[in-house]
Homo-oligomer: A and B are copies of this chain.
């Protein structure tokens, strides 16, 4: 009987120890498996250009594409709900997508003036505009970037999804968030 009691006591201690070890391991695993932003993938590099026809031709030659991609135009305000600096804007853009093996190069020619595309092109000339991450849940990802000094500069919809541009002045990069419906 004494022996049995002793055994039970030991067993309870071991259970506690096991539970502590389990919780500890769970925490460590949680830290190790920290979720990567956009699942650790950059899906697009966005470039602003003066003339999308000419730029497409030059990029096709550099990248080794035998054909230029189709040029599309972003939707009008009624459909895209484009907001720039918190205000509705009629600005649009011509877009061309070079789909590479591991990500897409997006060329952007601004139409109209009230957009990050036009502002960036005016200020910096042709070249890098943003890197894009595909995310799940727009608002929580905007908040995540705002917590790191980000400022939402533009947002809108397109057939099948939405986008937001968040400027990250502390690292000098504009991040685009993409969600699909």
Tell me the A residues contacting B by CB distance below 8 Å: 31-32, 34-37, 39-42, 45, 47, 49, 55, 58-59, 61-66, 100-103, 105, 124-128, 131, 145, 148-149, 168, 170-173, 175
Contacts and interface: CB of A to CB of B under 8 A. Distances in A.
B65 A171 contact: no
Given A58-B148, A62-B148, A64-B36, A172 B126 contact: yes
Given A41-B101, A102-B103, A172 B125 contact: yes
Given A42-B100, A58-B170, A128-B173, 10 more contacts: A32-B66, A36-B63, A40-B64, A41-B100, A42-B45, A47-B173, A49-B172, A61-B148, A62-B145, A124-B124
Nearest to A150: B62
Contacts of A39: 101
Contacts of A128: 127-128, 172-173
A64 B35 contact: yes
A148 B55 CA distance: 12
Contact of A34 (B65, B124, B131): B65
11 contacts: A32-B66, A36-B100, A36-B101, A42-B102, A42-B103, A49-B172, A58-B148, A62-B175, A102-B103, A126-B172, A128-B172
A40 B102 CA distance: 8
B171 A127 contact: yes
A178 to B, nearest CB: 15
